Chain A
Amino acid sequence: MAIKKFAVACYDDEAVLFPAVAKVRHSGYKLHDIYTPFAVHGLDNAMGHKESDLHIAGFIFGLCGTSTAVGFISWILTGDWPINFGGKPHFALPAWIPITFELTVLFAAVGMTMTFCYLNQIMPGVKKHVFHPRQSDDYFVMAVELNEHVNENDVVNFLKETGAKETSVQIAEDSWWYGRFDKTEPYQLLGQ
């Protein structure tokens, strides 16, 4: 959570974006992030992100669902209140498969979606800085962090050379906060 200065470059073609990412990483400038309107395959690799481990969360939540269902039903039907259904066994595992399966899926799906929201820091009421309004439309927007070690103009010129359609320098909050998208934040008026 900090207000920083960024050089922002907008690309309109994946074929230009990928070499640009490689150049920026090679140059040693601090690549903050890239905002895209849809999932660009291979971009995570190009940026050096490792594979997501989200599915592990799904698996663990699923196991919780399975054990909740089996534990709860077997406790009820064999311990807390056993009922005789036509002389059938109290521990009727095959008859519990449907509910066990449903709870496994339910826990895995809900738990994984909540983990997804937590990791991505998204929630109703959360606000993040939008570098360019077209980043959800047709622009691939790259933000490079500016600090005391780099020259602002050098970075902007460098980004222009990589094929950026539009460049700008922005002061922005680099993380999330509680806010409304119809309000202008105080920091947004700083650099203007």
Chain B
Amino acid sequence: MHLKYESFVREPLVDGDKSYRQISEDIISPIEKKPGRMWYVGFFFSLALLAFGVFSVTWEVYWGIGVWGINRTVGWGWDITNFVWWIGIGHAGTLISAILLLFRQSWRTGVNRAAEAMTIFAVMCAGQFPIFHMGRVWDGFFVLPYPNSRGPLWPNFNSALLWDVFAISTYFTVSLLFWYSGLIPDFALVRDRAKTKLRKLLYGIGSFGWTGTAKNWQRHEMLALVLAGLSTPLVLSVHTIVSFDFATSVIPGWHTTIFPPYFVAGAVFSGFAMVQTLLVITRKILHLEDYITIGHLEAMNKVIVLTGSIVGTAYLTELFMSWYSANQYEAGAFKWRIMGPYWWSYWAMMTCNVVSPQLFWFKKLRRNVVFTFIMSIVVNIGMWFERFVIIVTSLYRDYIPGSWSYYSPTWPEVGFYLGTFGLFFTCYFLFAKYFPVIAVAEIKFILKTSGENYKRKMDVIEEKPVEEFVLEQAEHH
């Protein structure tokens, strides 16, 4: 028998009759083949969106922030909404790879690579918004603390906005390191399988000359474990700090201590939804249904229903506090959210984030691929509205009725948002074509405990008396 054992009561994580060689073949062969027609269509459509985004941003930089719809009352509009939305999406990858690694959830192995890639691309998209929101973007480097001829005038280290600069750049760097250190052994596999010289050369460089000695792997595991330990508080800190951008201010509707956990839960919620959107399509197109199984989708749907409920509780807590605090400005902010001219955004948020995810309490729906896909998009729409509600509907009716205002975006703002979709999907299409979409080495590691064909052999062991089983196991250790 094998050295490891897992009960067959647990659902297999790798379906079908797989061997180590078959796993390499299934996951690496799409890299070696020419991409299909759908790939070209998707890729060039994304490039076109990206080009439109570049045009919209260039327009904004040339003419100034005035081309956006934001005004004196509503100073943060789609730009910061989209920033928080993308950064929230960027939370699933590291959560899957780091927190689930620490919790020894082996189902993460099927989805972590794509989720981490998605994280990195989402953070890249998110970063664009605060940078271009600065207006005079050519002075953007002023946020960095470097000795300068303006005093030296340093950035304000006590400001939540500067914390954000540090949090997001650290998060991007650490996620990238985590992702790439996992990719190195898989690049070595592509290199060793390669038949063409160019592929051998490029993946040879990408694999850093990895050969996979026992000591290499020992250090690799240690690196993954410590990076996971570092990333776990990091991923929680990033959205906490994003929420500080609001919570440390004195705007009614923003100034609440509930924001950090509420934002983190929302981030995980939207991040998992985006992972579902991407993986449901990826597994279909690359024929990876054996590795990203219905069980994987169900596990993520469980996370979605949990975090969706946390978010719902947070919404209700906010409402309760606006009444219980007996603060008329707080009450006013929530009254205008629910019943003001932006009532539709509040109710869209409530429906998409709180009501509809509750359907995932039904196992049938959790395991339904089409429903999961639709739901993942609904959740992401809902989470976009959440950020819009928090930002715009806390600002548009401020203290003096004379300065009340309404905000709607102009085309350069919409174009900027579409452009980040272009950036995101351009990167994702390149990733899906040239990178191993699933962590091959990690799947091989769990094959003999969680593979369907190996699980079948467990029946014999399960029927053994406990004493006999323990004695047999003791010999192996």
Contacts and interface: CB of A to CB of B under 8 A. Distances in A.
A134 B444 CA distance: 14
Contact of B230 (A34, A105, A116, A122): A105
A115 B35 CA distance: 37
A8 B223 CA distance: 29
Contact of B200 (A42, A85, A138, A181): A181
B445 A39 contact: yes
A20 B59 CA distance: 68
Contacts of B211: 35, 128-130, 135-136
Given A36-B217, A55-B222, A92 B158 contact: yes
Given A38-B445, A135-B212, A105 B174 contact: yes
A138 B230 contact: no
A15 B217 contact: no
Interface string A104-124: 011011101100110111111
Interface string A15-54: 1001000000000000001111111101110010101101
A109 B21 contact: no
Nearest to A126: B209
B387 to A, nearest CB: 21
A73 interface: yes
Interface string B153-165: 1101110101100
B215 interface: yes
Contacts of B153: 81
A54 B166 contact: no
Contacts of A37: 20, 24, 185, 189, 212, 440-441, 444
A102 B167 contact: yes
Contacts of A62: 230
Contacts, number: 213
Give chain B's interface residue range (CB within 8 Å of chain A): 35 or more
Given A38-B444, A38-B445, A80-B154, A182 B210 contact: no
Contacts of B160: 98
A187 interface: no
B152 interface: yes
B41 interface: no
Interface of A: 12, 14-15, 18, 33-40, 42-44, 47, 49, 51-52, 54-55, 58, 62, 72-73, 76-77, 80-81, 83, 85, 88, 92, 95-96, 98-99, 101-103, 105-106, 108-110, 112-113, 116-117, 119-130, 133-138, 176, 180-182
Shortest 7 CB-CB distances between A and B: which pairs? A181-B204, A126-B209, A138-B20, A122-B208, A38-B441, A98-B163, A95-B158
Given A102-B166, A124-B208, A129-B211, 18 more contacts: A35-B213, A36-B217, A38-B445, A39-B221, A42-B3, A43-B214, A44-B218, A83-B156, A98-B160, A102-B170, A116-B219, A122-B208, A126-B208, A135-B212, A136-B188, A137-B21, A181-B204, A181-B205
